[in-house]
């Protein structure tokens, strides 16, 4: 469904529609507002009721406009409208299955890998993805990322980065760091740039997908002053590759900011070769490089999106060799030991040489390898 402005609350008009502040202010947070975009099913109605007081939900008008009004299995709906399954606790589920908390060095810095860190900017997001791996921190009303409050001084965090010369890569994330306005973001980015050993700054944001009007010329120009900057975003379904999303990525790219994509393999959303092939080839058309495909972790409130490892391997096998090499993301299981590449091996060691297998399943023995 095309975004038709006459359906918007108060007839937004194009100027409002393309203003990210308007999108944030007019976010869908009630059943009544949601019903302006879709025919809400009984199950969705009940789910909205049952997550009340437990999990936040919020959808930008832009992202709501991508929903299929009649199909409750629409991938955009599944990712953004609450589901009753979020309240089920699956065996083994946890709020932090990858133990990020134990690597937290300051209020905002998670230092798990030798040369790079996660810097938590905010717990806010324009759309609260139902499958968020940090669901407790972003969406659970009881949860927060921050040991101390979000508003507390960042000086101890900057001090930590400045005093650890091994850190050459800082990933701004959260939550969605682009929830902050340009001025607050520039305060952070410019401070990071004052630390000589920080070589690259990365911004992890879903805005190109859920709030593409956030990627303004002004934002891109500001970031361009602090190069090298890399951007990573989170498209999960070809339906999300719209004209607006494409234009947002194009603005970043034209300012010299490479854009990479991290998807999560989600049951019912993108767990098929056909959908993933359309996604990754669609991303190449907008010059966004598929980076990671994450296996969905057993996160409390997210478990119903989990697929099997075999499904993930089937998806990767259906991409590799069948399409452009750099369209194929690395398939990753995230664990307390870190990210684990889960792709299959195409080479098998034999006593004398190796057996190799190509993407069509044809095998051959190579001696002396
Ligand atoms: C994923 C992650 C990173 C970045 O890892 P890359 O593989 O370099 O993208 C850094 N720190 C933490 C804690 C992470 O989870
Ligand atoms: S935008 Fe990212 S951090 Fe925010 S809810 Fe979605 S997946 Fe989680």
Give the mean model confidence (pLDDT) for residues 230-247: 98
Average pLDDT over residues 308-327: 97
- Say if residue 328 is preceded by a cis peptide, omega within 30 of 0: no
- In terms of pLDDT, which residue wins out, 259 or 336? 259
User: pLDDT by residue (tens digit) across 253-284?
Assistant: 999 999 999 999 999 999 999 999 999 999 99
Ligand nearest to the backbone CA of 205: 2
Grouping H, G, I as helix, E, B as strand and the rest as coil, residue 177 is helix
pLDDT of residue 5: 43
Res. 368 pLDDT band, cuts 50 70 90:
confident
Q: Express each pLDDT in 338-363 by its tens digit.
A: 999 998 889 999 999 999 999 999 99
Task: Give the tokens for residue 263.
Answer: 């998807």
Per-residue pLDDT at 10 exceeds 90: no
* pLDDT for the residue numbered 6: 42
In the predicted structure, residue 1 carries a pLDDT above the cut 70: no
Q: Which ligand is nearest to the CA of 105?
A: 1
Mind listing the pLDDT tens digit for each residue in 20-42? Answer: 999 999 999 999 999 999 999 99
CA 105 – ligand 1 centroid, Å: 15
Sequence length of the chain is 369
92-97 average pLDDT score:
89
Q: What is the pLDDT of residues 110-123, one digit of tens each?
A: 999 999 999 999 99
Q: Where does the pLDDT of residue 12 fall: very low under 50, low under 70, confident under 90, or very high at 90 and above? A: confident
pLDDT given for residue 254 in this prediction: 98
Nearest atom within ligand 2 for CA of residue 204:
2
DSSP state letters, 262-290: EEEE-TTTT-SHHHHHHHHHHHHHTT-EE
Per the prediction, the chain carries an average pLDDT of 94
Nearest residue by C-alpha to atom 8 in ligand 1: 116
% pLDDT > 70, the chain? 96
- Kindly indicate the confidence band of residue 3, based on its pLDDT and cuts at 50, 70 and 90: very low
Q: How far apart are CA 269 and CA 76, in angstroms?
A: 8
Per-state percent for the chain, helix, strand, coil, to nearest 5: 35, 20, 45
Question: Residue 350's Cα: distance from chain center in Å?
Answer: 40
DSSP states along 318-329: TTBTTB-GGG-P
- Residue 334 Cα to ligand 1 midpoint, Å, equals 10
Q: How far apart are CA 175 and CA 123, in angstroms?
A: 4
DSSP one-letter string for 62-114? HHHTTS-SS-TT-HHHHHHS--GGGG---TT-BS-TT-GGGGB-SSSEEEEET
Determine whether the annotation assigns residue 129 to a binding site: yes
Q: Are 336 and 117 in contact (CB under 8 A)?
A: no
What is the number of alpha carbons within 13 Å of residue 225 lying toward its C-beta? 14
155-162 vs 182-193: helix crossing angle, rounded to 10: 30
* Cα–Cα distance measured from residue 79 to residue 75, given in angstroms and rounded to the nearest whole number: 6
Q: Say whether pLDDT at 57 is over 70.
A: yes
pLDDT of residue 194: 98
With pLDDT > 90 as the criterion, what percentage of the chain qualifies? 87
> Does residue 159 register a pLDDT over 60?
yes
Q: How far is the CA of 25 from the centre of ligand 1 (A)?
A: 32
Question: Does the pLDDT value for residue 329 go beyond 60?
Answer: yes
Listed residue (230, 126, 222, 225) closest to 182, CA to CA? 222
Q: Which ligand is nearest to the CA of 339?
A: 1
What's the CA-to-centroid distance between 205 and ligand 2, angstroms?
Answer: 8
- Per the CB < 8 A criterion, the answer to whether 300 and 94 are in contact is yes
Evaluate whether the domain defined by 101-338 bears CATH number 1.20.210.10.
no
**Which residues 6+ apart lie within 8 Å of 314 measured at CB?**
273
Which residue, 50, 85, 56, 76, is CA-closest to 302? Answer: 85
Predicted local distance difference test score (pLDDT) of residue 142: 85
Res 178 pLDDT > 90: yes
Query: Ligand 2 test: best mutation among 138, 139, 209, 245, most atoms within 8 Å of CB?
Result: 138
Ligand 2 in contact with 138 (CB < 6 A)? yes
CA of 135 to the centre of ligand 2 (A): 8
What is the C-alpha to C-alpha distance for residues 225 and 189, in angstroms, rounded to an integer? 10
Residues 47, 86 contacting (CB under 8 angstroms): yes
Fill in the DSSP letter of residue 147.
Answer: S
CATH 3.20.20.70 domain residues, the chain? 101-338
Q: Quick one: DSSP state of residue 357?
A: E
pLDDT at res. 11: 63
Cβ of residue 167 lying under 6 Å from some atom of ligand 2: no
155 alpha carbon to ligand 2 midpoint, in Å?
Answer: 25
* Chain center to CA of 105: 23
The answer on whether 249 is annotated among ligand-binding residues is no
Residue 296 labelled as part of a binding site: no
Sign of CA dihedral 148, 150, 153, 159: positive
Rounded CA gap, 280 and 106, in Å?
A: 36
Strands 330-335 and 347-350: unpaired
Residue 170 pLDDT more than 50? yes
Q: How far apart are CA 26 and CA 186, in angstroms?
A: 25
Contact 137, 123 (CB under 8 A): yes
């Amino acid at each position: 469904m095309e975004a038709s402005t006459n359906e918007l609350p108060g007839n937004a008009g194009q100027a409002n529609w393309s203003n990210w502040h308007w999108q944030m202010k007019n976010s869908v947070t009630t059943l009544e507002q949601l019903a302006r975009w879709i025919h809400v099913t009984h199950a969705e109605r009940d789910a909205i009721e049952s997550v009340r007081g437990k999990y936040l939900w919020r959808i930008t008008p832009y992202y709501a406009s991508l929903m299929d009004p009649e199909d409750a299995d629409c991938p955009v709906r599944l990712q953004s409208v609450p589901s009753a399954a979020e309240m089920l606790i699956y065996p083994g589920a946890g709020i932090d299955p990858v133990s990020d908390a134990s690597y937290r060095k300051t209020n905002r810095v998670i230092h798990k890998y030798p040369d790079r860190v996660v810097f938590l900017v905010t717990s806010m997001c324009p759309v609260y993805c139902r499958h968020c791996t940090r669901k407790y921190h972003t969406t659970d009303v009881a949860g927060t990322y921050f040991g101390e409050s979000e508003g507390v001084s960042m000086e101890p965090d900057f001090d930590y980065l400045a005093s650890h010369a091994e850190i050459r890569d800082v990933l701004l994330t959260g939550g969605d760091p682009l929830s902050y306005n340009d001025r607050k973001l520039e305060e952070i980015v410019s401070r990071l740039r004052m630390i000589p050993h920080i070589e690259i700054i990365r911004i992890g944001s879903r805005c190109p997908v859920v709030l593409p009007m956030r990627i303004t010329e002004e934002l891109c120009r500001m970031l361009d002053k602090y190069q090298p900057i890399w951007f990573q975003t989170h498209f999960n379904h070809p339906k999300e590759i719209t004209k607006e999303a494409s234009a947002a990525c194009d603005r970043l790219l034209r300012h010299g900011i490479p854009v990479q994509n991290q998807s999560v393999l989600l049951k019912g959303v993108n767990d098929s070769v056909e959908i993933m092939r359309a996604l990754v080839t669609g991303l190449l058309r907008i010059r966004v490089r598929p980076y990671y495909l994450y296996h969905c972790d057993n996160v409390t409130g997210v478990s119903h999106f989990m697929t099997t490892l075999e499904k993930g391997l089937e998806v990767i096998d259906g991409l590799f060799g069948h399409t452009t090499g750099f369209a194929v993301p690395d398939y990753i299981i995230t664990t307390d030991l870190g990210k684990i590449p889960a792709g299959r091996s195409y080479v098998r060691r034999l006593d004398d040489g190796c057996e190799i297998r190509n993407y069509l399943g044809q095998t051959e023995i190579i001696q002396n390898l």
